[in-house]
Amino acid sequence: MSRRPGVIARFFGLIGGLFTGWVKSREEENPAAVYENAISERVKQYRELKGAVAGILYMRNKLEAELADRRAELARTLEDIRRAVRGGDDQVGLALIAHKQLLLGDIERAEKEYDGLKVEAEEAKANLVRFREEIRALEREKGRILVTLANAKARRRVSEALEGISVDADMRALESVREHVARLQTEGRLDVELGEDMGLETRIKAIRQEASRDAAQRELDELKRQLNPAALPAETPAEAPVASREHPTTITVPAS
């Protein structure tokens, strides 16, 4: 039985802590509402304080008016006392003097009260002005905080967007494209080089084939000349030495 109050208190403490945490998270998510609530509460307190200050000022003004009336009455009483003394009416004079004493006491008490109310009213007005400035400061702070929060959220969104971009993957893709383009360029140059080499080789081969055909033709012509000199055209002076150099061995054909 002695543990139940402690358990219940801990349970309610847990519930209160969870609720406080939930409220705090909601407040952090919506700071504008928190500021609006704080400003509204300050405005409500300002109105209440303003009413209290107005009451103090009313009492001060009322007491000030009463003091003015009593001082005026005191002045009239003093004049009435002089008249009663001049008229020899001692009974009226004594009554007026007693009334004067009462007025002096009332004026003295009223002046002390008025002085206190005057000081209190000045302090209340200063507090009212300060409270109003606090409300305006809260409104300005709200504007700054909301702008700062908006900027922070924007920067966080940019940061999250940048973090979500795989720069390495993009760079690898770019390198792959660059390598592919470079390979295509190399293949193109290789085709040109191979084309040039093939053309050169073809020309060399054609020259060699032409030289081989020329050599075969000359050998054939030489054989024909040796076998049937009359069937061949006459050798030019330039051709004879060449033929003798290329084929120094001659074939003797008997005359018919």
| Shared domain check, 159 and 34 | yes
Q: Quickly list H helices, 88-166.
A: 90-164
pLDDT digits (tens, 9 = 90+) for 82-114: 988 888 888 888 898 998 999 999 899 989 988
- Position 251 pLDDT exceeds 80: no
pLDDT digits (tens, 9 = 90+) for 10-48: 545 655 564 455 445 555 567 778 888 888 888 888 888
The reply to whether 138 falls in a domain is yes
- Position 172 pLDDT exceeds 50: yes
User: Do residues 73 and 120 lie in contact, with contact meaning Cβ atoms separated by under 8 Å?
Assistant: no
| Shared domain check, 220 and 103 | no
Residue 95: both structure tokens together: 């009554």
| Shared domain check, 180 and 147 | no
| Shared domain check, 179 and 102 | no
The reply to whether 35 falls in a domain is yes
Confidence of residue 75 (pLDDT cuts 50, 70, 90): very high
User: Do residues 93 and 81 lie in contact, with contact meaning Cβ atoms separated by under 8 Å?
Assistant: yes
Residue 245: both structure tokens together: 């150099």
Confidence at residue 241, expressed as pLDDT on a 0 to 100 scale: 46
CA distances from residue 144 to 40, 63, 139, 156 in whole angstroms, order as listed: 18, 46, 9, 18
The reply to whether 239 falls in a domain is no
Q: Which of 128, 146, 165 is the last residue of a domain?
A: 165
| Shared domain check, 126 and 57 | yes
Mean pLDDT, range 130-154, rounded to an integer:
85
Confidence of residue 56 (pLDDT cuts 50, 70, 90): confident
- Position 218 pLDDT exceeds 60: yes
Confidence at residue 69, expressed as pLDDT on a 0 to 100 scale: 92
The reply to whether 254 falls in a domain is no
pLDDT digits (tens, 9 = 90+) for 196-216: 555 666 777 788 888 888 888
Mean pLDDT, range 226-248, rounded to an integer:
53
| Shared domain check, 118 and 185 | no
The reply to whether 252 falls in a domain is no
Q: What is the mean pLDDT of the chain?
A: 75
| Shared domain check, 17 and 122 | yes
- Position 65 pLDDT exceeds 70: yes
| Shared domain check, 124 and 208 | no
| Shared domain check, 226 and 153 | no
Domain count of the chain? 2
| Shared domain check, 188 and 157 | no
What's the first-to-final CA gap in the chain, in angstroms? 159
Question: What pTM does this model have?
Answer: 0.45
Name the phi and psi angles at 13, rounded to 5: -65, -40
Query: Which amino acid type is present at position 113?
Result: E
Domain that holds residue 209: 174-231
Q: Which residue has the higher pLDDT, 122 or 197?
A: 122
The reply to whether 245 falls in a domain is no
The reply to whether 187 falls in a domain is yes
| Shared domain check, 203 and 83 | no
pLDDT digits (tens, 9 = 90+) for 146-171: 888 788 878 878 777 776 665 566 66
- Position 134 pLDDT exceeds 80: yes
- Position 116 pLDDT exceeds 70: yes
Could you tell me the CATH number of the domain that includes residue 96?
Answer: 1.10.287
| Shared domain check, 39 and 155 | yes
User: In this predicted structure, which of 37-46, 114-123, 241-250 has the lowest mean pLDDT?
Assistant: 241-250
Q: Which of 139, 165, 191 is the last residue of a domain?
A: 165
The reply to whether 247 falls in a domain is no
